[in-house]
A and B are shown apart, each in its own frame.
Chain A
Amino acid sequence: MKKIEAFVRHEAFEPIRIELLQRGFPSLSVSEVKGSGRQAGITERYRGAELTSWLRPKVKIECVVADEDVQTIVEAILKHGQTGNVGDGKIFVFPVEQAWRVRTGESGEAILQSHPDEG
């Protein structure tokens, strides 16, 4: 199992989400984060006085998938996340040691699939 953590532009999220749904990956978590990379800041002016904000908003997508599915997810994110400009974001992949489904107490890679009862 691997955990994928991707930081992307807000506009990229919906197309990525649709693509992942179509490919059979409905499970993911999203958080709105602010961070800095090589993208420039935004300067504001309040009645003439300046304030520059270096931390830019991004969407963080997290999902855990079987090892062989990592490439599929990464490709979907790259496909819709790229504008070719600084600030498109980054993708990180981590190993996952163990996983449980809270409702049933099952563990292991089986929990990545839908439960047999769910039909």
Chain B
Amino acid sequence: MSIATLHLTTNLGLNSAWVVIAGLFVMFMQAGLAMLEIGFVRGKNAGSIVAKILTNFAICAVVFWAVGFAFSFGHGSLLLGYHGFFTEGQHAFPLAFPDNPQGVTPDTLWFFEFVFCAVALAIVWGTTLERVKFGVYIAYAPIFAGIIYPVVAHWIFGDGWLRMDLHVQDFAGSIVVDVTAGAAALAVLLQLGPRRGKYGPDGKPRAIPGHNMPLFGLGILILWLGWFGFNPGSTLNALDGRFPEIVLVTQLAGSAGLLAALAVMWKLTKTFDIGMAGNGAIAGLVAITGPAGYVRPWAALLIGAVAGVIVVFGVIRIDKRVDDPIGVLSAHLIAGIWGALSLGLFADPKLAAHNLPGSHGGLFYTGSLTQLGSQAVGVVVTFAFVFVSSYLVFKVIGRTIGLRVTAEEENAGLDISEHGMYGYPEQFIPMPELVGYGAVPASLRIGTGPLSDPDVTTAAKQQGKPSTRPGRQDGPSSPGSTDRI
């Protein structure tokens, strides 16, 4: 609705106000993910994450407004929506007013679904940190926000075949957000390869410690707060009375995930692992995202706890094979799959009827595997679609722009090599140079641009080759180098 011609009824106003506020919480998850990622990478890559999060968020909004929202939530076929491009059209969106008189305004729905898409996109990049070219973000973001995510969202959140025909339950996106993001994250990771130094010559994984655990903790807490928009807001309704219980259910799963992960790590290593405690909370919250509106508090506790156990073993196993710096594959992909399947076990039949008429209760209530089967199909279809389409897109990006920075740029850090500045300048520029600003005359300047000196950029190519100039440690080969002693 581009012109405010609606006079909102109290119901529509309250529902829309609640969902916009919930959407703001979800937007704040961008900050959470940024802090989590910054904490988990080395200081030389801290700034690049800020640029990435901001740019993706901006691209996502424009593309999702233009086409993504119509593809996902517009009227259309079971495969794809095709009404409501640029959020235009009075009757374009079945979930929004006026087609759904109990719902929210179309713009409210747009905002809430856009921030979901933006979170999914932000999660995708978790596997690529510290070595990917910035151009890859810009190239893939419009495709993800314009078509890949909207297709899945249409199938499971909108009027698509998985929801309408197979009755796949997914309250707030264990599948739509987390399995989707995890599948795309795996697709790019397999083509990108590990960070330099992650695996020793013997193939054994080595820890690359993040530089700031307090920021990581702040990130976890912001994400946790964001989940109170993510799940309860997915009611798209303030007046059916469901959202407060979903707040409770969400909190219980997060707590259970954290405590389970902490306990398992203590059992394995006899330490109270900070990073894994955080990963456990995220895994519990991811797992409860799909079931949030469908399960009772006791089930939420179980779902979260199992996710907390899964994430520990997932992180340790996955680390042996592929380099996933913040644990996206375990905390989002695997925990998301578990959350989706858990609905087939624990979905309360009454809540199933309330949220998605035609869907069934879980095995523990009904003794039937019907819903579990539907959930499995939902997971497999989503994973296959997103993984294959993203793999192909990244293949094309790899052939054209290239996925990875050079070894020398990776050593120097993405902050200086991709963005021309350090995230922590004082750590890299000695103080004497900062106070003596402008002291070096222009005539003595030999380097221009990040990593511009020819000796450094060629060094990467020659790495490993024996020098042809034995005993010579430096030389006048660099332009103007004799000017600098």
Contact = CB atoms under 8 A, between A and B. Distances in A.
A86 B475 contact: yes
Nearest to B479: A40
Given A41-B445, A44-B421, A83-B467, A89 B440 contact: no
Interface string A74-93: 00001000111111111100
B447 A43 contact: yes
A38 B481 contact: yes
Interface stretch (A20-28, A49-57, A95-103): A49-57
A108 B450 CA distance: 49
Given A40-B453, A55-B432, A85 B476 contact: no
A102 to B, nearest CB: 32
B445 A87 contact: no
B298 to A, nearest CB: 52
Contact of B429 (A36, A53, A85, A89): A53
B469 A45 contact: no
A11 interface: yes
Contacts of B89: none
A56 to B, nearest CB: 9
A40 B448 CA distance: 8
B209 interface: no
Interface in A44-70: 44-46, 51-55, 57
A86 B469 CA distance: 11
A39 B452 contact: no
A87 B459 contact: yes
Contact of A89 (B432, B437, B473): B473
B421 A45 contact: yes
Interface string A5-49: 000001100000000000000000000001011111111111000
A4 B477 CA distance: 27
Contacts of B458: 85
B428 interface: yes
A38 B462 contact: no
Given A40-B453, A44-B420, A54-B433, A87 B462 contact: no
A43 B448 CA distance: 6
Contacts of B465: 84
B367 interface: no
Contacts of B425: 44, 51
B476 A38 contact: yes
Contacts of B462: 83-85
Contacts of A53: 428-430, 433
A87 B428 contact: no
B422 interface: yes
With a 10 A CB-CB cut-off, give which of A10, A82, A87 has the most chain B CB atoms: A82
A83 B432 CA distance: 29
Interface of B is mostly: loop
Nearest to B456: A87
Given A86-B455, A86-B477, A87-B474, A41 B466 contact: no
A19 to B, nearest CB: 14
A52 B416 contact: no
B450 A42 contact: yes
B478 A38 contact: yes
Contacts of A89: 473
B411 interface: yes
Nearest to A11: B411
Given A86-B478, A88-B474, A40 B455 contact: yes
Nearest to A90: B473
B447 to A, nearest CB: 3
A70 to B, nearest CB: 15
A85 B473 CA distance: 7
Interface in B404-446: 411, 416, 420-422, 425, 428-430, 432-433, 437, 440, 445-446
B399 interface: no
Nearest to B458: A85
Contacts of B221: none
B463 interface: yes
A33 to B, nearest CB: 10
Contacts of B471: 78
A48 to B, nearest CB: 10
A41 B478 CA distance: 11
A43 B447 CA distance: 7
A41 B446 contact: yes
Contacts of A11: 411, 463
23 contacts: A36-B484, A38-B478, A38-B481, A38-B484, A39-B455, A40-B453, A41-B447, A41-B453, A43-B449, A43-B450, A44-B429, A45-B420, A52-B440, A53-B429, A54-B484, A55-B429, A78-B471, A84-B459, A84-B465, A85-B462, A89-B473, A90-B473, A90-B474
Interface of A: 10-11, 34, 36-46, 51-55, 57, 78, 82-91
Given A10-B411, A55-B432, 16 more contacts: A38-B481, A39-B455, A39-B456, A40-B456, A42-B447, A43-B450, A44-B416, A51-B429, A53-B433, A55-B433, A57-B428, A78-B470, A82-B473, A86-B453, A86-B474, A90-B474
Q: Nearest 7 A-B pairs (CB), nearest first?
A: A40-B447, A40-B453, A84-B467, A85-B455, A86-B455, A41-B447, A82-B467
